[in-house]
Amino acid sequence: MITGLSAFPLTPIAGDGSVDEKAFIGLVERLVTAGVDWIAPLGSTGSYAYLRPDERARVTRLAVEHAAGIPVMVGIGATRTREVLKLAEDAQTAGASALLLAPVSYQPLTADDVFGLYEDVTREVSVPVVVYDNPGTTHFVFTDELYQAVGRLPRIASIKIPGAASARVGELRELLPAHVTLGVSGDAFGAAGLIAGCDGWYTAVGGTLPTPALTITRAVQAGDHATALTESDRLKPLWDLFARHGGSIRVLATIAEHLALVTAPCLPTPLRGLTDAARTEVIEILERLNLAK
Amino acid sequence: MITGLSAFPLTPIAGDGSVDEKAFIGLVERLVTAGVDWIAPLGSTGSYAYLRPDERARVTRLAVEHAAGIPVMVGIGATRTREVLKLAEDAQTAGASALLLAPVSYQPLTADDVFGLYEDVTREVSVPVVVYDNPGTTHFVFTDELYQAVGRLPRIASIKIPGAASARVGELRELLPAHVTLGVSGDAFGAAGLIAGCDGWYTAVGGTLPTPALTITRAVQAGDHATALTESDRLKPLWDLFARHGGSIRVLATIAEHLALVTAPCLPTPLRGLTDAARTEVIEILERLNLAK
């Protein structure tokens, strides 16, 4: 069962365009020290869509080697089924304990296309697969019928649902076999999603700042909803920054750079870091929230 | 100057997932026979977003070899600037006369990201670059300010604008240097766009059915707007099919399969062909319009 806190680290890019392996290992070790439940490299935050297959295999190997036994879940998304199958094989060879698959699109996908993708992939793999529903990057919207159909495929172990969908966790659970867990994403919805009954939190903020994300997760797991909501409310300035910058990746890159976990700029171009004014604001908020450590 | 009819052929995929080179050459030769102005492999219709760099280089070489001197424009889009630069180099080495670049996204892009992409690419290349504005696949919307800024970069030769924007061709032209041409895309808007003053038509339908697309283009070029509009109106059932199937690629694949130009299924998975019922409808319309030849 895939439950608890799955933390998505950045994949820092060095000045020459290669993966900054030393910094990446540092990010993984930070998650080990904090005690997350899953380490999830090569999610959206881990820039999987910007890396070559050989780089993705190497990042997976590094994560597994430095995870100290914490299971590693790896993003295998690509526009084409052929490439997804190859990435799945590479990830399994590198020691991944689970695979995360989003319906990455260029031409708009139909529900039949997406079902076929999950059918083709789950037929070939031997480890659990997490369905990655992220319309902000894939531009694909799952229907309940598709959740249900995909949820019945072998090896489907969990669905990473968008934040807003966590309000419907009860309804969604009715559609799925009992062994398929539901995990909330969209960091602003983490506490609410867990309290609403999600089994886990797929968290980008937790990949760079694991401590507050673990505070929220462990509080809900202990039945202490008040502490979880208080911590999530305290972090609201961070959620607001994510919303204002079209997602969390640019803000988290700035935070990782400020904490000297990575070297600036750490995002793959054409993605640019934040402007100087936005960076100043991020750092001010970070310090005000006592997260600058 | 990039003007006239730029025809975008499919890149047919064989049963084993490789490019069906024989069928692709046949599609290129069909465009040569028809007498298009530009041959544009590896556009959205040519599935560039689904092919490996080595396949894209090979497809470009084949197109140039079989183009009989007609200039070849090649799609070099990718999520990452590093890959775009490599694809640009490969395309130039293979003999491309122009490069077509869309701001392909995974993380939502900012205007600064997109300007930076065009700046980084135009700095490195030696052939003309066509800006490919296709929000249906890139999910990026160009502003007039960005058109203007990108249009001033060296080697920018043309902008492929969405169909609806062709109503504003006069306004857009004011923003751009005189040597930057405007080409309409969205096949339903071809005739109207050319009549409104676009210098060219970037056409998907013309990549598979060049004759009616040339009828429209040559009529407008000769000042015979009535003939162009009549032919475009006659093809309306085709435009309606494109709209109903989320774009033209699945319908054009069905047409190419029916005409035995390619072997079914010819699209890269996860993209599926049309259902049997939709295929029957496409073929009926094709025959009714006298295009089944």
ipTM of the complex: 0.97
pLDDT at B166: 86
Task: Report, as an integer, the average pLDDT of B33-51.
Answer: 98
Is the pLDDT at B229 greater than 90, yes or no? yes
- The three-class DSSP label of residue A260 is coil
Q: Are B93 and B105 in contact (CB under 8 A)?
A: no
pLDDT classification of A227: cutoffs 50, 70, 90: very high
Structure tokens at A180: 């398929």
Nearest residue to A290 via CA among A205, A206, A211, A191: A211
Q: Which helix (H) or strand (E) holds B111?
A: helix B111-124
Structure tokens at B126: 């030696």
Task: Report, as an integer, the average pLDDT of B254-265.
Answer: 97
pLDDT at B223: 98
* Each residue's pLDDT tens digit, B197-220: 999 999 999 999 999 999 999 999
pLDDT at B263: 97
Question: A110 vs B136: CB contact, 8 Å cut-off?
Answer: no
| Beta-strand relationship, A73-75 and A98-101 | parallel
* Each residue's pLDDT tens digit, B125-136: 999 999 999 999
Q: For residue B38, which phi and psi values (nearest 5 degrees)?
A: -135, 145
pLDDT at A108: 96
CB count in 10 Å sphere of residue B222: 10
Is the pLDDT at B167 greater than 90, yes or no? no
Of B79, B106, B116, the CB nearest to A272: B116
pLDDT classification of A167: cutoffs 50, 70, 90: confident
User: Looking at the domain that runs over B4-223, which CATH code has it been given?
Assistant: 3.20.20.70
Q: What is the DSSP string of B122-181?
A: HHH-SS-EEEE--HHHH-----HHHHHHHHTSTTEEEEEE-GGGGGGHHHHHHHS-TT-E
Alpha-carbon distance A221 to nearest alpha carbon in chain B (angstroms): 32
HSE, side-chain direction, 13 A CA sphere, residue A211: 7
Q: Are A245 and A274 in contact (CB under 8 A)?
A: yes
d(CA A25, CA A6): 17
* Each residue's pLDDT tens digit, A2-43: 999 999 999 999 999 999 999 999 999 999 999 999 999 999
pLDDT classification of A57: cutoffs 50, 70, 90: very high
Nearest residue to A279 via CA among A246, A241, A247, A243: A241
Is the pLDDT at A189 greater than 90, yes or no? yes
CB count in 10 Å sphere of residue A184: 29
- Residues on chain A bordering chain B, Cβ-to-Cβ distance under 8 angstroms: 17, 44, 49-50, 52, 79-83, 103-104, 106-110, 112-114, 116-117, 120, 136-137, 139, 246-247, 249, 268-272
Residue type, A206: G
Q: B200-209: buried (b, 16+ CB within 10 Å) or exposed (e) per residue?
A: bbbbbbbbbb
Question: B80 vs A249: CB contact, 8 Å cut-off?
Answer: no
Alpha-carbon distance B200 to nearest alpha carbon in chain A (angstroms): 24
The rounded mean pLDDT for chain A is 97
pLDDT at B217: 98
Chain A residues close to B108, C-beta within 8 Å: 136-137, 246-247
CB count in 10 Å sphere of residue B227: 16
Q: Which residue has the tokens 């993984």?
A: A28
d(CA A283, CA A290): 10
Question: B107 vs A139: CB contact, 8 Å cut-off?
Answer: no
Nearest residue to A113 via CA among A150, A86, A148: A150
Residues near A43 by beta carbon (within 8 Å), at least 6 away in sequence: A8, A75, A100, A132, A202, A204, A207
Nearest residue to A101 via CA among A168, A60, A48, A24: A48
d(CA A2, CA A158): 7
pLDDT at A30: 98
Q: What is the DSSP string of B190-253?
A: HHHHHHTT-SEEEESHHHH-HHHHHHHHHHHHTT-HHHHHHHHHHTHHHHHHHHHTTSSHHHHH
pLDDT at A244: 95
pLDDT classification of A293: cutoffs 50, 70, 90: confident
Alpha-carbon distance B137 to nearest alpha carbon in chain A (angstroms): 5
Chain B residues close to A249, C-beta within 8 Å: 107
Is the pLDDT at B268 greater than 80, yes or no? yes
pLDDT classification of B292: cutoffs 50, 70, 90: confident
What are the CA-CA distances from residue B223 to residues A17, A115, B59, B135 (Å)? 51, 49, 36, 31
pLDDT at A166: 86
What is the four-CA torsion angle of B56, B97, B116, A16, rounded to 10 degrees? 50
Task: Report, as an integer, the average pLDDT of A237-251.
Answer: 96
d(CA A72, CA A95): 8
Alpha-carbon distance B97 to nearest alpha carbon in chain A (angstroms): 24
Question: A106 vs B249: CB contact, 8 Å cut-off?
Answer: no
Is the pLDDT at A257 greater than 90, yes or no? yes
d(CA B208, CA B234): 17
